[in-house]
Structure 1
């Protein structure tokens, strides 16, 4: 794991630290081929430069975000608003994290991808990669 992600996790307090630590552990175990770094102030994992999964601390929770998650057809993921294909799950307690569920989403994230890497070049138009 990138040292900046560990630093991000270490800067969280109490339950948020536990949530971030467990999410990063699950992601790293099941997505070892992904590049990972802090991107726009929060941890993100990429495949070939395309953002796939990340999480960040919000005011009242930690949100796990899948950039292409709206295409996963998972009722537990809340689809984002707008023209993007993102979906997320919010956690307020580490006990809410279902490891098998997150692993399933990660497996879908590897095979269902929209091209966020080139969204600016395509003037905001998303194209499905996989």
Structure 2
């Protein structure tokens, strides 16, 4: 686990830390080629500089967000934004996490990507990475 992410998780309440430690370990295990760091104050994983998945502490719980998750066509993920392609799920306990779902979503996060890294250069227009 990246030291910054480890430090982020260590600041959380015990239940939240367990959830985040598990998520970080699973993401690291599946996305071995990804770069991870704390970005905009939250743990995020990148493939070729493109944000793929991350999590953050919010009022409803730990929000696991997939930047291109709206196109995963997964009932378990809620599409939040209309302008962007993100989708999320909230966890409050480690037992809330369905490991099979998480593994499937992580695989899809590698296969289905929108190009967020060049969003500013394209003046806010998203393009699918093929």
TM-score calculated relative to the size of structure 1: 0.97
Q: Deviations over 1:70-112 (max 9, x none)?
A: 0000010000123100000101111000111101000001010
Q: Identify the residue that residue 78 of structure 1 maps to in structure 2.
A: 78
Equivalent positions of 1:25-44 (< 5 A) are 25-44=25-44
Q: CA RMSD in A?
A: 0.8
Count of matched residue positions in the alignment of Structure 1 and Structure 2: 130
2: distance between equivalents of 1:76 and 1:60?
16
Equivalent positions of 1:1-130 (< 5 A) are 1-130=1-130
- 2:60/2:90 contact within 8 Å kept: no
Q: Which has the higher strand share?
A: 2
TM-score calculated relative to the size of structure 2: 0.97
Q: Unaligned regions of 5+ residues in structure 2, if any?
A: none
User: How far is the alpha carbon of 1:127 from its aligned partner?
Assistant: 0.2
